[in-house]
Structure 1
Amino acid sequence: MSAFSENLSRAETYLQRFREHPTTHFIAGNWTAPDTSRTFDNLTPVDNTVLGQVAIATAEDVDHACESAHVAFSEWRNVSGAERQKILHRIADLLVQRADEIALVESMDCGQPLRFMRQAAVRGAANFRFFADRAVEAANGQALYQPEHTNLTLRSPIGPVAVITPWNTPFMLSTWKIAPALAAGCTIVHKPAEFSPLSAAILADVAHEAGLPDGVWNMINGFGEEAGKRLTEHPAIKAVAFVGESVTGSHIMAQGAATLKRMHFELGGKNPVIVFDDADFDRALDAVTFMIYSLNGQRCTSSSRLLVQSGIRERFLSALRQRVTNLTVGHPLDPATEVGPLIHPSHFDKVMSYMDIARKEGACIAVGGQKYQADHVSNDGNYVTPTLFTEADNTMRVAREEIFGPVLTAISFDTEEQAVNMANDSDYGLAAYVWTNDQARSLRMARQIETGMLWINSENNRNLPSPFGGIKMSGIGRDGGDYSFDFYMETKNVCMAHGTHKIPRIGE
């Protein structure tokens, strides 16, 4: 049996539970009874066949989940950091045990190649371990001494939190949000994206098996217009952590305004990668190719705008064209696959619409530009040929709008000043990448580029203690280390007098 066939067989075994029984909501430590009158088909991007039925949460379901989180919060907030640490480590252990299941289910559910999903459970477990070890000290603040007063800061969990995650890498992004919330002492209501809900069910299973008290972790399925809206409006929810589109983020902000919820948004991006003439050519080429075509281009930090200096433009684009042409498109469970199908037919249509937009705007489609068709993939799947637009400029829609697919727009520049201006001429500011061997230029770019995150001579390398997030239309707030606790916890200042200062007297 080939590795591909073996992967398919194991995936089918893991998917059987989802085929046989509707995926329902997990509330107060229990899976809810399925209501078959309120379900939707969950499609696999491979061929758009049905993986199973998924329950659609009503407003009453959402209320039940929020109230469950509210009740459980009074207990969970008082669980010691050391005990929370033990439970989160047990979650991490169980994720590693179920790594094969998570990878195969996730690949079939969202179309990401298995080669990138194999480490998903391990990295998710690392997220839980990282924040588990910080749970012990999460409440600690600072001691600020003055001659006649000492100020102490204390941190406490903010309360029940809504965690709303996207469809592109749902498992990983869920762990990034949920692990620090639980470590801080918050309870959660998790709403996964309707296009890829299955790994959220596995996560809920794991949390329950690890001994998390009932009601601390709740999960609802459904659509943003009903379930998502009620969740972000519910008065028991004190904060919303959302990853998704910028337009949706603005809707959530409006929905939470009446109850003054704290918001953390990781939103869209049109991230530039700037390659200067003096860059390490081969390393830059590897990184440019990887950071847009891996994960099917469905990555918020994808470098979807290539700004290449004119001195190496022709050489770099020629080499890039060859690399894009050589990319292996195929079934996500095939070990050889580098680019899989897009998440859903509606998203496939959106990505394909930019091919006509590019032609109308005068860009050249140097590679791709059409649906991918071959004998080894289903014609009913959401496959796009990896695409490269050249001869573009920064005013074109293909250079300004987030396409969120395996599509790269290349633009040339002459001077450093031009590169900075092009990079900053965007509504977004999530991530940016610079390739140069000039150290002074690196420092100048670090100061001048308007972005939440900048990688110099590197692809996206995630460091858990470091801040992760964007500016402008790309988001509000930061994940990572204590930055996460700043969001999930309230800070209280306690001022203690030494008994020596003079108190003003009035009314004598």
Structure 2
Amino acid sequence: MTQQLDTNLTKAEQFLSKYRDNTLGHYIAGEWTLGSEGKTFDNLTPTTNESLGKVVKGTQEDVNQACLAAQTAFAAWAELSGTERKKILHRLADKIEERAEEIALVESMDCGQPLRFMKQAAIRGAANFRFFADKSPEAKNGLSLHQDDHTNYTLRNAIGPVGVITPWNTPFMLSTWKIAPALAAGCTVVHKPAEFSPLTAGILAECAEAAGLPAGVWNMVNGFGEVAGKAITEHKAIKAIAFVGETTTGSMIQAQGAPTLKRVHFELGGKNPVIVFDDADFDRALDAVVFMIYSLNGQRCTSSSRLLIQNGIKPRFIEALKQRVESLKVGHPLDPETEVGPLVHKTHYNKVLSYMDAATQDGATIAVGGRALDELGAGNYLTPTLFTEANNSMRVAKEEIFGPVLTCIEFDSEEEALQIANDTEYGLSGYIWTANTGRAMRMASKVEAGMIWVNSENNRNLPSPFGGVKMSGVGRDGGDWSFDFYMETKNICIAHDTHNVPSLGKH
């Protein structure tokens, strides 16, 4: 154990002690509660699969109370000026930054992400709140459309209470990415965090309370999707659902919300291609390929999990890639040297490991990795894995593995690369590496994905639209696109008193 790891573990234990000693409950109408039944479940750390403490298992009645609280608080929050909401949300960002170290350490222990990535979780979360806080005063703004006899103008109003259901992979940042624009728009929120990593959602609720967010504006209910999540998606008070997670769950939520005509925004699965042409900047492309699948344990929706490599560069690139993957440091998430930590939960860990057999059965080569790291203890550790000699018909090329696993597929021509890239039910993101500007623009326009990065890894830009096509999602986040989701647009037509009004019944 390194000295820094020992120090980080000591700090983390200080923060985690309150969860070991006290059950994590719901936050409803400005109060912490153990719910209507008080049933709990163990929250396990992926580092050892031991319990970090008990969490209340939300019931339908718990969700009902949270939704009613959001409904009651909505009118006053929506009527509050954007300038006042801005002040409150900036205070909330301040509270997040004050607890940045705690958030990073707790999240790493809760979901297994290396601390080197989680250090930015609070900073990025606070930045989300500041960005949308600054836009809150203009959230209602619309368009003015002049005609000779009429002027039409639009304005936007908050849609109402909304449900936000977030995933376990980068839970804190993704929660703020959804909740910040909802609050800035004037909506009230019922948030259900993922049951695999619920702790920082509790910290987020505490920050909201400390910032002076009015009771009922933000409500948080823990629990499982089949009960708590389902109850949110079906509740009549909830006008929209923002969900990040698996595609199959998204389709279930859409069906559950259909009877009440809920608006939905889904950020779902992906099997994202990174296409490397022979003329690509070799070193920069190699860095990006490794980073975009092995960072965050490969548990990232925009991970480039399919490497499409042109044949001219393939031997050299694959050899360099193998050396990099073999050198990745797997270890405890609180070790500053760790690059890949344990996977979030035993069930997901076993799913990822099952693809090792699937690869060999389908004819791919396990060039690096492909096994559990039992020598690291009882946690969910496995070797970063590289599959080569694969084709797009194999399960490892078609199915979302969501782990530190990369599948390599060769191609000859631009046309073949495009065919392989689009031969998937998903369409979240794509990455193109080439020195040819014309080719980059042709490929970017034809790859079927909601987001394309050319000669770059996933570079985050808050005003830009974020979302996928096909089975990867519905709708867009980011900038004004978020307000379009959380608000209803109203058109108002004002006559200039110059047009002829048709008349009936005059004889």
TM value normalised by structure 2: 0.99
Aligned residue number for residue 474 of structure 1: 472
Percent of aligned pairs sharing the same letter? 69
Are the aligned partners of 2:86 and 2:133 in contact in 1 as well (CA < 8 Å)?
yes
Output aligned runs, 1:172-211, within 5 Å.
172-211=173-212
Q: Once the 2 structures are TM-superposed, how far is the Cα of residue 499 of structure 1 from its aligned partner?
A: 0.7
Runs ≥4 in structure 1, deviation > 6 angstroms?
none
Cα shift readout 1:113-137 (whole Å, capped 9, x = no counterpart): 0000001100100000000000011
Work out the CA distance in 2 between the residues paired with 1:291 and 1:381: 23
- State whether structure 2 residue 451 is matched by structure 1 residue 453: yes
Cα shift readout 1:289-325 (whole Å, capped 9, x = no counterpart): 0000000000000000000000000000000000000
Local SS of the residue matching 1:423? helix
Q: Once the 2 structures are TM-superposed, how far is the Cα of residue 20 of structure 1 from its aligned partner?
A: 0.4
Aligned residue number for residue 497 of structure 2: 499
Are the aligned partners of 1:62 and 1:220 in contact in 2 as well (CA < 8 Å)?
yes
Aligned residue number for residue 170 of structure 2: 169
Aligned residue number for residue 275 of structure 2: 274
Work out the CA distance in 1 between the residues paired with 2:451 and 2:36: 44
Are the aligned partners of 1:271 and 1:302 in contact in 2 as well (CA < 8 Å)?
yes
Amino acid in structure 1 at the alignment position of 2:120: Q
Local SS of the residue matching 1:391? strand
Are the aligned partners of 1:35 and 1:55 in contact in 2 as well (CA < 8 Å)?
no
Compute the RMSD of aligned alpha carbons.
Answer: 0.9
Work out the CA distance in 2 between the residues paired with 1:433 and 1:488: 29
- State whether structure 2 residue 225 is matched by structure 1 residue 224: yes
Cα shift readout 1:59-89 (whole Å, capped 9, x = no counterpart): 1101000000000001100111000000000
Work out the CA distance in 2 between the residues paired with 1:492 and 1:352: 51
Work out the CA distance in 2 between the residues paired with 1:426 and 1:507: 62
Report which stretch shifted further, 28-37 or 450-459.
Answer: 28-37
Number of residue equivalences: 505
Work out the CA distance in 1 between the residues paired with 2:314 and 2:238: 51
Cα shift readout 1:327-368 (whole Å, capped 9, x = no counterpart): 000000000000000000000010000000000000000000
Work out the CA distance in 1 between the residues paired with 2:281 and 2:504: 72
Are the aligned partners of 1:272 and 1:431 in contact in 2 as well (CA < 8 Å)?
yes
Q: Once the 2 structures are TM-superposed, how far is the Cα of residue 464 of structure 1 from its aligned partner?
A: 0.2
Amino acid in structure 2 at the alignment position of 1:97: E
- State whether structure 2 residue 346 is matched by structure 1 residue 348: no
Work out the CA distance in 2 between the residues paired with 1:323 and 1:430: 26
Work out the CA distance in 1 between the residues paired with 2:439 and 2:78: 48
Cα shift readout 1:171-206 (whole Å, capped 9, x = no counterpart): 000000000000000000000000000000000000
Are the aligned partners of 1:22 and 1:34 in contact in 2 as well (CA < 8 Å)?
no
Output aligned runs, 1:107-506, within 5 Å.
107-374=108-375, 377-378=376-377, 380-506=378-504
Work out the CA distance in 1 between the residues paired with 2:177 and 2:413: 38
Amino acid in structure 2 at the alignment position of 1:415: S
Work out the CA distance in 2 between the residues paired with 1:28 and 1:118: 31
Are the aligned partners of 2:36 and 2:59 in contact in 1 as well (CA < 8 Å)?
no
Structure 2 residues not aligned, in runs of 5+: none
Work out the CA distance in 2 between the residues paired with 1:142 and 1:34: 45
Q: Once the 2 structures are TM-superposed, how far is the Cα of residue 501 of structure 1 from its aligned partner?
A: 1.1
Work out the CA distance in 2 between the residues paired with 1:105 and 1:208: 19
Structure 1 residues not aligned, in runs of 5+: none
Work out the CA distance in 2 between the residues paired with 1:470 and 1:342: 25
Amino acid in structure 2 at the alignment position of 1:500: T
Amino acid in structure 2 at the alignment position of 1:504: P
Output aligned runs, 1:16-31, within 5 Å.
16-31=17-32
Are the aligned partners of 2:35 and 2:58 in contact in 1 as well (CA < 8 Å)?
no
Work out the CA distance in 1 between the residues paired with 2:152 and 2:269: 40
Q: Once the 2 structures are TM-superposed, how far is the Cα of residue 505 of structure 1 from its aligned partner?
A: 2.5
Cα shift readout 1:433-456 (whole Å, capped 9, x = no counterpart): 000010000110111111000000
Work out the CA distance in 1 between the residues paired with 2:500 and 2:417: 59
Are the aligned partners of 1:18 and 1:52 in contact in 2 as well (CA < 8 Å)?
yes
Local SS of the residue matching 1:77? helix
TM value normalised by structure 1: 0.98
Work out the CA distance in 2 between the residues paired with 1:400 and 1:34: 41
Q: Once the 2 structures are TM-superposed, how far is the Cα of residue 503 of structure 1 from its aligned partner?
A: 1.8
Amino acid in structure 1 at the alignment position of 2:50: T
Local SS of the residue matching 1:311? coil
